[in-house]
Chain A
C-alpha cells in the first residue's frame, strides 16, 4: 500500500465500482457514487461537532459537557437525534403550511449543494466547474431566502422580526465575504476551486505556496472568516439565533425534526464556508510542508476542518454577542473598506517584482490604513437626539 494508493483509495474504489455498472447507467451511478459520501460524512461530522461543541464550551466554562450517554458523552447526538425525531411536529394554525414546510428543506438543500465544488482530496471533487467559486456564492445566497421564508411563514411578529434581522445581517456580510475571496481569484486568475488548490500545492524551500502566507492572503483570510461566521449566524454574530432564548428567532415556531434540520443547515453552512476558506487560503488538501505530503490529502482537509471547528467553538465561548448596530457598523464601516484595500493590495503584489520590498510595501499598505480606520471608528461618537419620522 503505497502512499499514493492510500491517498487515492476512494477514487480507486469508485473506479472499481463503476466497472461493474452497465453503460446505460454510468452517468447516474457516477453522480450517486460521488455524492453519497458527502451526504454521509458531513452529517456525521455535524453530529460529532454538536457533542464536541458542548463539551468544549463546557470545559471553557469550567464544567463538564454531557458525559452520561456513551463513553465521555460521545453518543449524545444519538440521544438528540431520537429526541428530535420523536417530538410532536407542531404547525401554528395561522402559519402558511406550504412555505413553512419548504423553508427547512430549501435551507438544507442549499447547504448541501455548496459541497459540490469543494475538493476534499486530490482528484476528489464532485464536479470541477469552471466557475466553482461563483457557484458557491450563488448557492450561499439561496440560504437567505430560506431564512426569510422560515420567518415569514410562521406568521408571528417576533419570528418575522428575527428573520428580517437575520436576512439583513446575511446580506450585509455577503459583500465582504465575496470581496475577500476575490483577492484569491485575482491572484490565481481562475474561478475553479481545483485550479486554485493546484496553484497552492507547490513547494519552495519545503514550504507550500498557501495564500495564507502572503500579507493580502492573511488579511483576506481573517476577513473571510469573520464574514463566514456572520453568514452562518454563529456566535458572536448570533443575534437572530440568540434572541430565540429571549423572545423568538426565525425558527421558533418549528419543533421536532424541522428544528433539527435548521441546525443541520446552519452547521453544514459553517462547514461549507470553512471548506471554501481552506480551499482558497489554506491550500485545500495540500500539506503545509513538503516532508508531510505522505499523509493522505483527505486527512489534511479534515484536519484543517477540525482546526476550524475548534476555532469556531473557541470564539463562541469567548466573545459576547454583537448588537445589531455594532454588527452592521462592522460590516459596512470596517470590513468593506478593508476588503477593498485588500483588493488594491493584491494588485500591488502582482505588479511588483519578487523580493523583500514587495512584502514590506504590501504589509504597510494593509496595516497602516487599518490602524487609522480603527482609530477613527473607535472615537467616542456624539449621539444625536433621536428624531422619529412617523411617531408624532
Chain B
C-alpha cells in the first residue's frame, strides 16, 4: 500500500462519489471523468501502459464527451427539483452492500497474491498478435456491434423524408 496507490485510490473514490452526489449534471460528468483519470493512473502505476493510455483516450476523450453531448442535447443541466437521495434509499444501501460483499469475497478468496516475479512486459505487438490470432472472433463481433451502433446513430440523426 504505497502512498501513490492511496492517493490515486482516494482520487478515484472521490470522483465516483461526487459523480453520484453532485446536483448539477455536468458537474457529475466532470467528476466521473476525474474518476476515469484516477483509474487510468492506477493502471499506469501497475505498469500497464497501453491499457492506461487507452483508458484516457477512450473514456476521457470519447465517453465523457459523449455523455456531455447527450446531456446537452436532451435536457437542461440545471438543478433538479427532486432531492438528491431517492425515497427507497434503504433498499439501495442493502443492494450496494450485498454487491460489495460478493466482490470482496470473490477477490479475497481468489488465488491471486502479490506477484512473486516481475510483471510481464507486454508489448503492443503481443496485444496485436493476440487480437489477431486467439481473439480474432471477439474482435470481429465487436466490430459488428460498433458498426450496428454507428448505423443506428446515423439513422436516428438522418433527416427523414416527408411522406405525402
B14 within 8 A of A: no
B26 within 8 A of A: yes
Identify the closest chain A residue to B66 (Cβ). Answer: A171
Q: Are B54 and A134 in contact (CB under 8 A)?
A: yes
Binary B-proximity of A192-208 (CB < 8 A = 1, otherwise 0): 00000000000000000
What chain A residues lie within 8 Å of B125 (beta carbons)? 189
Given the contacts A139-B56, A148-B68, A387 and B161 also touching, CB distance less than 8 Å? yes
Contact for A141 among B27, B56, B72, CB less than 8 A: B56
Contact for A138 among B26, B33, B56, B64, CB less than 8 A: B56
A341 within 8 A of B: no
Q: Are B162 and A138 in contact (CB under 8 A)?
A: no
Provide the bound-state CA to CA distance between A138 and B61, in Å: 7
What chain A residues lie within 8 Å of B2 (beta carbons)? none
Given the contacts A152-B26, A189-B125, A138 and B65 also touching, CB distance less than 8 Å? no
Identify the closest chain B residue to A152 (Cβ). Answer: B26
Q: Are A145 and B60 in contact (CB under 8 A)?
A: yes
Given the contacts A99-B30, A152-B26, A142 and B68 also touching, CB distance less than 8 Å? no
Question: How close is A71's CB to chain B, nearest CB, in angstroms?
Answer: 44
Q: Are B65 and A171 in contact (CB under 8 A)?
A: yes
Q: Are A134 and B57 in contact (CB under 8 A)?
A: yes
Q: Are B60 and A134 in contact (CB under 8 A)?
A: no
Which chain A residues (138-160) contact chain B, with CB distance < 8 Å? 138-142, 144-145, 148-149, 152, 160
What chain B residues lie within 8 Å of A145 (beta carbons)? 33, 60-61, 64-65
Given the contacts A99-B30, A131-B124, A164-B72, A144 and B50 also touching, CB distance less than 8 Å? no
Contact for A387 among B53, B72, B162, CB less than 8 A: B162
Q: Are B124 and A191 in contact (CB under 8 A)?
A: yes
Given the contacts A145-B65, A152-B68, A131 and B159 also touching, CB distance less than 8 Å? no
Given the contacts A131-B50, A138-B53, A191-B124, A387 and B160 also touching, CB distance less than 8 Å? yes
A101 within 8 A of B: no
What chain B residues lie within 8 Å of A99 (beta carbons)? 26-27, 30
What chain A residues lie within 8 Å of B27 (beta carbons)? 98-99
Main secondary structure of the interface of B (DSSP, over half): helix
What chain B residues lie within 8 Å of A140 (beta carbons)? 61
Main secondary structure of the interface of A (DSSP, over half): helix
Provide the bound-state CA to CA distance between A148 and B27, in Å: 13
What chain B residues lie within 8 Å of A312 (beta carbons)? none
A135 within 8 A of B: yes
A167 within 8 A of B: yes
B103 within 8 A of A: no
A130 within 8 A of B: yes
What chain A residues lie within 8 Å of B54 (beta carbons)? 134, 138
Given the contacts A148-B68, A387-B162, A134 and B53 also touching, CB distance less than 8 Å? yes
Q: Are A141 and B60 in contact (CB under 8 A)?
A: yes
Instruction: List 17 extra interface pairs beyond A141-B56, A142-B61, A148-B68, CB under 8 A.
Output: A98-B27, A99-B30, A130-B50, A131-B53, A134-B53, A134-B57, A134-B124, A139-B56, A140-B61, A142-B56, A145-B61, A148-B65, A152-B72, A171-B62, A190-B124, A191-B124, A387-B162
